[in-house]
Amino acid sequence: MRLYRFTARLVLPFALVRLWWRSRNDAEYAPRWTERLGYGGPIAGAPIWVHAVSVGETRAAAPLIRALLDDCPQTPVLVTTTTLTGAAQVAMLFGEGVIHRFAPFDLPGAVARFLDRTRPRVAIILETEIWPQLFATLARRRVPVFLANVRLSERSFRRYQRIPRLIAAALGVPAVIAAQSQADAMRLRALGAPAARVHVTGNMKFELSPTAGLREAAQALRLAWGERPVWVAASTHQGEEEVVLTAHRVLQETFPRLLLVLVPRHPERFEAVGKMVRSGGMVVVARSAGGPVTDDTEVLLGDTMGELMLFFAAADCAFIGGSLVATGGHNPLEALALGVPVVFGPHMFNFDEVARLTRSAGAGVQVADEDGLIAALRTYLGDPEARRAASESGEALVRTHQGALGRTRALLAPFLTSPAPSSEGP
């Protein structure tokens, strides 16, 4: 732990410079960056604390957070994220129904200040957020730690094996570790998590249902676009847009009126991606500009927050980004829940189990490169029967694997009804 703290302190100056830079360029973040150091006003009422790093984790946590709001209406719910996009997602989903803070750095002072001000009754940490200093401090303060929806890829497992004592100590703290799959559970136990505390609950990302009015809004959008084939390139990363745009050009030879909805993963790249499309000679409309998508429009740039589900619902098929580059892919389940066939690249290690299930169900295709992407999209766009079969398979896959929320709630219930700890401590 001493070496870990020393390393964290070495990194801190660079992190502070980055925070300062981000605060200069984001008016909403500027008054709040000190929350990463544990500062912020006190929160009364011993809140239930849910930590979700960014957008994907926040979406996965949303059904659980809604359940907590229903089950414990008198207890405040605190949601932390580490990213601005995660904060925006919390605001969009819950408004003032929850309290949002940026999570503190995993340093003794920052963690202590955060806990002094929030004093949670339980800490619910989503997915693979293993923070040794935070866990040790929560244990000293007798705040129960509940790891929910935990996934641990083979890649992360090998990385954690390099620091076995530190990870084993951290994994000894949570009272419950709710793993997504048996493979995740096995890896967690191999790293030192007490076997009796590890439970397989399934993946809460399957707990999806279209919001009221979503399909109607998508139909209206599709009507406004005209009678033309549409595909979405969702959550793309640097190095993927070039491939996507080339594929679009090739596909236009077969489908001349084809529309691409291009949604970069990170908002700070919206402008650069828009320039890239225009420099390639394509007619592009930015969603944020509010202009119409005309017959001449080739690309709609999805440069708004919170509309990806709408774009999925209005599309014939979708490419899931972060998978043609070694990022690890993103979650295809939102598209599948809406009956949209998916295509993803070879790098899906962050969602390896979901990718396997998708392939096995015939709800999507994994490709190796640009040629494979073009071939898969051409099939889905040009073959209504193949598209229908994949659509039905995707919806059935999501329905079949639901239930993680109920199992998680059952494990969590004792911690919600027990007296809140004082949360005071060194």
* CB-CB contact of 423 with 115 (8 Å): yes
* Amino acid at the residue 331: N
Q: How far apart are CA 370 and CA 322, in angstroms?
A: 14
Q: How far apart are CA 218 and CA 311, in angstroms?
A: 7
As beta bridge partners, residue 99 has: 78
Cβ contacts of 74 within 8 Å, gap of 6 or more: none
Distances (CA, A) of 200 to 41, 62, 169, 210, 354: 37, 20, 21, 26, 15
Sort 138 into a burial class: Cβ within 10 Å, 0-12 / 13-18 / 19+. buried
For 15, other C-beta atoms within 10 Å of its C-beta total 14
Residue 207 bears catalytic tag:
no
Q: How far apart are CA 27 and CA 320, in angstroms?
A: 31
Helix, strand, or coil (residue 263): strand
Query: How are strands ordered across the β-sheet holding 122-126?
Result: 99-102, 77-81, 48-51, 122-126, 145-150, 176-179, 198-200
Residue 345 tokens, joined? 């690249």
Q: Which member of 28, 35, 57, 353 is catalytic?
A: 57
Rg of the chain in Å (alpha carbons): 22
Beta strands in 34-91 (DSSP E): 48-51, 77-81
Indicate which residues carry an active-site annotation.
57
